[in-house]
Structures are given as C-alpha cells and as structure tokens.
Amino acid sequence: MPSHAFSTRSPSSKTGLVASLSRRIQPDDSQPKLFHSLHQEHSSVLSLAADDDSIYTGSQDGQISVWDKTTFKLKALLRGHTGSVLALEYAPDKHWLFSASGDSTIRVWSTRNHTPLYLLHPHLETDSGDLFSLVWCQPRQTIYFGCQNTSLQWFSFSFPTLESAASFGVSLPSDGSVHSGTSTPTSNSRKAHKFFDSYPQYTRRPADLNARNPTCASCLPGSVSSSSVPASSSSVRGLSPDSCVQDDLVKAPLAVLQVPPECVIFSAHYGYVYCMALLPSNREGSDDPAPEDTAGNGPQLVTGSGDSTVKLWQLPNRRALDAAPQLLHTFDCGAGAVLALAVRGDTVFAGCQDGLVKVWDLETRTLVRTLLVVENVDILSMSMLHSDLYVCSANGDIQRWSASFDLVGSWRGHEGIILSSIITRVPSSDTAQERRGENFTLVTGGNDDMIKVWEVQPPRTNRDSLSELSGLGDTADVSKSINDILVYALAKFVAIPSVSNSLAHKEDCRQAAIWLRKCFTQLGAEASLLPTGESTNPLVLATFHGTRTSAHRPRILFYGHYDVISARPNGWASDPFTLSGRNGYLYGRGATDNKGPIMAVACAAADLLARRALGVDLVMLIEGEEEAGSGGFVEAVKRHKDAVGPIDSILVSNSTWIAEDTPCITYGLRGVVHCNVEISNDGPDLHSGVDGGAAREPMLDMVKLLGTLTDDTNKIAIPDFYDRVRPLTEDERQLYKVLSSVTQTPASLLAARWREPSLTIHNVEVSGPRNSTVIPSKVRAHISVRIVPDQDLESIAASVQEHLRAQFQRMRSPNKLNVTIDQTADWWLGKLDDSWFRALENAVKDEWGVDPLRIREGGSIPSVPYLEKEFSCHALHLPLGQSTDQAHLPDERISLANLRRGKRVVERFLSNVGNKSSPSPAQTNDS
C-alpha cells in the first residue's frame, strides 16, 4: 500500500490525536460525557441493539438484558438461547428483535411485550455453527445472517401466516408448531455437533452440548421449549442470586422455522462470516437516504469474513424475493480477518485485525484510505454517526474519525475488550435538542461486564453539500427553475474543498466526485464514477441522452475538472469555499475554474432534455486531477473508452475572455515540458567561513548551467529549438492587430504570450537550513518550456535534457547532475473552418449579438490534445469567464450574467449541431 494512503497515530502525541497524513487539526481534549454505566454481572456484553424505549444487550451466558432508556433499570431478561448471544438486530417496522447465538439458532422476540415469537434454525441446523452476524432488510422483509461454516443464509418473513401470528399473538398448538410449509414442530433436543461441540483432543471426551455452553454443566437444559436458562444478574427482583438455580420456565415461541435449502449460499466466504451491513445503512445515526428513496437496483448487502475479504452483494428485487443475492465484487483487505463493518453512502469501512480500518469506495471499487487505529490491536466494533466513525478496539480504546479521515477524538472506554457498540437516541431533558433529534449516544459493551452510554454529537459539517440536490424536483421540473438550480448547484459544488494537490483534501475530492455524479443523475443524465488508480481521484462520466430519432445523433464530449487549487483565507473577502454573491459576481474557489462552467453545461443539457429538445448525446467527462497533472487520466480513458463511446466533437470551457465585455472563442493552447534539474555532491552541507573557496559548490554550478539556457537577447539557446516553430501568417498578423485594439495590449506582446515558445525558471531549492553561511550540498531547480505549433513534444523534452547534460559536462565539475522530465503536455490548435467551430461561433453571436473574438492561450491543458487523438475528432474551447475572474488567485469569481448566458450559448450550440446531420469524423479530419 502506498504510504500516502495511511492515516496514523503518532506514538509521541500526548493527546493520542494526530491528523490524517499531513493535516494539522485542533485536537479536542475533552472526551464525550459518560451519560450512564450499566453493570451486567459475570457476563461479557457481546452484542447490542436498541429501540425507542430500550437497550438490549446480548451476553455470553445466553441471556438478553432489556434496559429502560429513561431510567436505565433492568426491566426484563429474554431467555431461551443455550449459547452466547453473538448478534442482535432490531426491526423497527415490526417491533421485533432478532438474536443470533452460538447455539446455532436465531430467535425472534416481540419488543412490545418481550415474548418469544419464532425460533429459526439455519439450514443444516448445527452444521452451520455459530451465527455471528445479522441484518434485517425491511424492504424485502428478510433477515440475512452469516455463519461459522462460511455460509450466507436468509429467511423471508413476508408470509401471511407469519404476519398474522406475529401481529395478533395467535396461540398455536402446544407443541409450538404451525401448519405451514415454513415451520416445523418444536424439537425436543439438539444433537451435539462433532466439531462445534467438541472438547480439546487431549481430554478424549466425546462431543456433547456441555462443551460449547458457557454455563455450568448441571444446569444445561434438556429441552429448548421446556427448560430454563440460568440468569446472570442478581439485581433483578425475584431472581435468585445463584445464577445456576432454575427459576422460570422459558416460554415457547409461536413457531419453529427452518431456512430452506434454496436460501443458502455455501462458501460465501473462505472464513467465518463475522459481520455484515446493509446499503443504504439502516442503522440509527445514519444519514443515508431511506431504502425506498434510493435509486437503482435496490438494497445491497456487505459481508466481512475471516478470509480478509469484504463482499458486496446485490439483493433481489421485490418481484424475485426468493432469488439469491448476487455477488457484485470482492474487496481484499489483506490485513487479517474483517471483524467489523460500517457503511455510509458509497463508502464501506472494514475493521480488521491488527488495528487497521480499510476504507473502500463502492462506486469505483477502490481502496481510498487505510486508517491505522491502534497497531496490532484488533478492531471488534464500529459505529457511524452521520459522517463520524467511532472505532472500538480490543484494548478498550474508542476513537472518533471525521469525514476527512482525521482522528478527532480518543479515550479509554472500558477496562477490557470492547466487543460491541451502537448509536442510538435517548430521551433528553433539553426539549429543543430532543425536538431536533440530536440527543445521540454511543453505547459500548465489553468483557468487563459493563455497558457504557456516551453522549455524542453529530458532526457540524453539512451533509447537504455531499448529497442529492434536495428539493429541486425531478427531471420534469428542472426547466421551471433551471437558473435557480444552476446557482444553487454551484453553491453546493463550491462548498466541497476538492483540492487535488493536497493529501489532506483527498476525501473531499472523492466526495466531490460522488456529489457530482448524483447531481448529474438528478439532472437527467446516466452517470457513474470511473477509477483512475489508488492514489488518484476518480473520473465522473455522465451521458445526457438526446431525443431518440431514426437519424444519427451527434455525440459531443465535454471535458472539465472538479478539482481546484488551494485557497488560503488571506486575500479573500469571504470564505473561499462558500459561494458569495456581490455586485453581480459569484465569488468562491472554482467558480470560474472549472466548477461554474461544468454546472452551466450540465444545466444547459438538462434544460433541453426537459423540453425534449436535446438532439445530441452530451457525454461529460470530468476529472479530479487536472490541477495536479492529470495523473491516471490517460490510462483511465483508454481502459473505459467503450463506456465513453464514439465521439464526434469535444467541447472544453477552461479559460477566460481577454477583456470584460467581448465574448471569445479560444482556438489554441501552448504545450509545456516541466523539467527538474539537480546538482549535488556526496558530502554534507558545509560552512562558507570554513570551506568557502576550497569546495566546488553545487549552487555555482547550477547558476552557470541555468545561464546556458538563454542568450543575451533572451532567446532560448537550445540548439535547433526554433526550427519547427510555425511562421506568423498575414491572417494572424491582422487578427493580432484587432485584438490589440480591443485589449490595449501591443500585438507583439500577445503573440509572445500565445504563439511563441518560452522558458521559465520557477524556483531553486537547496539542502540545509538556508541561511547565509551554509554551502548546500544539493541544489534543485524547476524549469518549464512552453512549446507551440509545430514543435514536437518528445523532441523538445529530449533536447532540453541533452543540452543540460552537454553543458554540465563542459564545466568538468566533480559534482553530479540529474535531469528528469516531470510532466508534459502537447500544444493544441483548433480548426477554424470546420462546421463544429462555425456552429459554436454562431451560438455565441446569437446570444451576445456580436462576433466573438478568436483568441489563443499561453497556458496548457494536457487532456485536450490527448482527447483529440484518442477519439479522432476536433476540440472546441468556449471560455465563459472574464479576464478579471482571478482564477487561481484570491477572490476568484465569475459574473452571474456570464454564467447564465454561457449556459444559453451551450444550449444554442447543442441545438445548432442537433438540428442538422452530424459531420462524420472523416469529414471533420479532412477539413
């Protein structure tokens, strides 16, 4: 795993808190308030569940304790299991409590009167072994559970017989049976399993029930339906303090049920199925949408196992409830057994042995982070409160991790192993707080026989910016308020600090991609995320499908980027990640580069789509690494080229006008070669007062070497550098005169910026403390060369390296030279005479009432020339912003008028090319 993917806790940290990666955070030294402690005598707390009134704790001795949420008094004991209660699951729609046990049974209890309803045997009964995990799927009315024999099993409670028996408390025959194909008579005894009920080999004893039962052998029940299970708490009125004394008969369930053979996936894992979770999450404290509100194919199941894998399963739809879950993907954690799972949105957190939490993105199926919680200490339970992850470890510690994977809280929760945890609400004395539903608690249970209730608060971050565009209506309603949606969506988009060149904002970039995919979907597109690699941000691919006709629909690819550069608060009049409107401008990082144009194009397609006027397929390909060098972009596009499909033309909007009032179309970009030059020696840094004059200094060599790159007239001195530069034509000369009169900038200066090559020395860095007495042993410089048509990118990159090496060799220095090419991008020149360019030019003219200026840019966009070559078509570049938009600078902005009229230009362009037959790629290339 790359080192950047880890978040760690520093051993030297006094508070136990350290930010993920390089981020510095303000530690919260105060641990959550311990609201209440409960003592479950002589029995570890293995499992937890809660409803509105009660907290349920499953114990090692087979009992389930019911604690009142208001008084925290023990109000009932649910007895019937003859093995440890390993998992509890509450079904709020039915007011049922499911309990899974080491006795290879699942029991179903009424939470209204705490009586048993059903006894469910897995397929093959005791051959399934311990039942470790449970999850209730309300939309499917099905309980899923994971077994020790590596199987995944399920049982549907949607049968009318079961519904009536559970709802009305129908008394069944005394043998506990019901006359239906889903139940069997109560068994008088359970056979001992030769493996799960075995003794250590050295005892030479045959297997029996006593081997696996934690209670004393003399008190073991002879019959599940007629014997007692010993109580462990002497604090309950009416119970004997001797836990081995039989007091009451265990009540028989209404029916005994059996999982049919068709409801089993054998060898679902190659290890015990320790944990599972439902997607979207059905846990209290989750801010995931309700399952019935989720688009797509319905709920999904995630399972974790001792085989170190997490598996994603698609649950059957409502019309095929008897169908088996379908395996969608297997995630290999590679870190020992997966003992705990938590989910939020498209993210799965897998708690593993040895103290690691693996964070998986379900959309791209990639590992996005590894959290090192406590080294070599197993993680046995995790819980989510909105975007906060609470991790409980075997050493008794509890940690809270934020949405950006920062460790923001850590405290000692138990004096033993924490075995279970849940998030639940409790009644609050604060009426306002209770009305807001914010009275959350984290309940933890351990092998110290304690249940602890901690007051916790949801994170302050606003989940709205990472979710769907709530309240905007569906696609059919979009056209009614599309301009409102444009600004509203941009505000949400800007609020996500998707800074790609900062590891501290790695998760923000992923959340921006997830949000954008959901936004495109709600605007009417078919959208997905495409992985680019473990260390790079995903692509967002969305297609707005045009009106289906017999004629060929042109397919236009829009390229943009959702990542931004960093924005230090200094120099900003408002928060850079809060879109602020002032004097007709919208201020915020990414407003003009490139989030504003992305939303304008998407809303233009949505508007046409809603009016059934979209005559093209608009494919939007939005990357998240443009500001950091487009890492993984080329490889991802090649890998997913079939998903993108054939493309007739490419549209880009990633620059600004050259003036304030006259619209422009960009038709050219320079290329770039970024080069690192390092000169060093094998010795240490030296003191100039001691060794000055006696040593050959790397800094002096660097100054001389860099001086060879240009001549006295500031021309680049690399041999043959200018040989392939395209001469200035008379048409261009006249164009620069026009642009000069508009911008009040000399034509020669415009030409130097746009169509002539240049060389820049960006910085020189040294080793050592950087004071005036040190001779550094290593000096590094970063230079860039901008190239223009018709210079060859690879030839220029090679000639730069050859020139530097040749000049350094002539210096005969004992120091060492290392030259590397860091990043390259080819130049781009559009076609001014093809039909696509004319369609765009006409759209601009029709909207603004003037002919747009044809301009070039001195910067580089690596993806534009690459996409042209990959899809064999021409690119168009439509700038929306003005020259004073301050891209990459404080107070970045975009004019509200430009944003809205830019959207209308895109609408006109899409209509122009959609209302006539598309030129074939061959015709376009020949023009």
The residues annotated as belonging to the active site are 563, 626
Structure tokens at 590: 């990414």
The CA distance from 761 to 5, in Å, is 32
Would you give the distance in Å from CA 388 to the centre of its chain? 14
Long-range CB pairs of 638-641 (<8 Å, 24+ gap) are: 638/870, 639/530, 640/530, 640/539, 640/541, 641/870
The long-range contacts involving 208-216, CB below 8 angstroms and separated by at least 24 positions, are: 209/82, 212/83, 212/102, 212/103, 213/62, 213/82, 213/83, 213/103, 214/60, 214/61, 214/62, 214/83, 214/84, 215/61, 215/62, 215/243, 215/244, 216/244
Phi first, then psi: give them for residue 524, nearest 5 degrees.
Answer: 115, 5
CA 145 – CA 127 distance, rounded (Å): 14
* Dist. CA 220–CA 200, nearest whole Å: 20
Question: Residue 84's CB: how many other CB atoms inside 10 A?
Answer: 23
Q: Are 32 and 185 in contact (CB under 8 A)?
A: no
Q: DSSP assignment, residue 323?
A: S
Calpha distance 248→253 (Å, rounded):
15
The CA-atom distances, in angstroms, between 658 and each of 69, 300, 655, 664, 879 are 66, 51, 10, 8, 10
Distance CA 17, CA 178 (A): 57
Backbone CA torsion sign across 176, 181, 182, 187: positive
Q: Find all residues with CB under 8 Å of 726, minimum gap 6, and list them.
A: 755, 788, 789, 790
Cβ 486 vs Cβ 603: under 8 Å: yes
The backbone torsions φ and ψ at residue 62, rounded to the nearest 5 degrees and listed phi first, read 95, -5
Report CA-CA distances (Å) from 401 to 9, 129, 696, 716. Answer: 12, 35, 51, 52
Q: Rounded to an integer, what distance in angstroms lies between the CA atom of residue 872 and that of residue 923?
A: 11
DSSP 147: E
H or E segment at 360? Answer: strand 356-361
Report residue 542: phi and psi, to 5°: -140, 140
Q: How far is CA 119 from CA 80, 103, 253, 255, 529, in A?
A: 9, 12, 6, 6, 44
CB within 8 A of 749, min separation 6: which ones? none
Distance CA 137, CA 167 (A): 18
Here the tokens at position 460 are 């302050």
**125 burial type by CB count under 10 A (0-12 exposed, 13-18 middle, 19+ buried):** middle
All residues at 6 or more sequence positions from 85 whose CB lies less than 8 Å from its CB, including other chains = 46, 47, 58, 59, 60, 62, 63, 64, 99, 100, 101
* Cis status of the peptide bond prior to 771, with omega within 30 of 0: no
DSSP state letter for 210: G
CA dihedral 258, 124, 57, 233 (to 10 degrees): 100
Helices 482-494 & 506-522, crossing angle to 10 degrees?
Answer: 170
**In angstroms, how far is the first alpha carbon of the chain from the final one?**
49
d(CA 386, CA 694): 64
- The pair of structure tokens assigned to 886 is 């301050």
Query: What is the SS3 assignment for 202?
Result: helix
